[in-house]
Amino acid sequence: MRKIISTVLALALLLSLSVTAFASELGGSQDVTAKYEKTETEEAIYNVDIQWGELTFTYSETTEKTWNPDTHTYDTDVSGGWDKTETAIKVTNHSNVAVDVAMSVTPVAGTGVNVSLTGGNATLAAGVEGDVSGAAFVTGTLKISGTPNSTVTAAGVKVGEITVTIE
């Protein structure tokens, strides 16, 4: 009887070994994945150049007097004009973000001088890395006209104020 029990046990052990072989066929595999993430923040840096044109204008007046012997008075001929009638204000964006530029002028009343501004309003794109000469810019043109009255002196008086707003 011992032989029969030994044979049955040996057979049971043998069958259990074959089950292990079946288990490996039922298994599976999974890929192992690695990822890389990099977070980079960029701080907004504002750098805007404003180039003011010459903002002093000179009005020159010449009076030519000619003696009139018939009336014993001088006949006068007055002529005058500005040394220049306009100048430019240029804003260049060297920032790494876009900026809005708005220019305005506020004339001073009562001087006989007219001050106006054309252009100068724009959204300027951010600077491009390595392209300094290609920086976005806008130009406004300040114009002056009229004939100054006696409130305008040789020392000069304020006839207007230019405001450049950058947002």
Per the domain annotation, does 2 fall within a domain?
Answer: no
Per the domain annotation, does 140 fall within a domain?
Answer: yes
10 token code pair: 């040996």
Which residues, 6 or more positions from 24, have their beta carbon under 8 angstroms from its beta carbon? none
Residues in a beta bridge with 61: 80
Per the domain annotation, does 143 fall within a domain?
Answer: yes
Q: What is the pTM of this model?
A: 0.70
Give the distance between the most distant pair of CA atoms in the chain.
Answer: 169
Could you give the CA distance from residue 88 to residue 105 in angstroms, rounded to a whole number? 13
pLDDT tens track for 16-62: 655 444 455 778 889 999 999 998 888 999 999 999 999 999 999 99
What is the extent of the structural domain holding 79?
48-166
Residue 152, number of CB atoms within 10 A of its CB: 18
Per the domain annotation, does 128 fall within a domain?
Answer: yes
What's the pLDDT at 9? 58
What's the pLDDT at 1? 60
Sheet strands (E) in the chain: 48-52, 59-68, 73-82, 86-93, 99-107, 113-119, 122-124, 137-146, 160-166
Report in angstroms the alpha-carbon separations of 104 from 47, 120, 163. 21, 8, 5
Residue 70 scores a pLDDT above 50 = yes
Which residues, 6 or more positions from 156, have their beta carbon under 8 angstroms from its beta carbon? 56
Q: Where are the alpha helices (DSSP H) in the chain?
A: 2-26
Per the domain annotation, does 12 fall within a domain?
Answer: no
Per the domain annotation, does 4 fall within a domain?
Answer: no
pLDDT tens track for 109-146: 999 999 999 999 999 999 999 999 999 999 999 999 99
How many domains does the structure of the chain reveal?
1
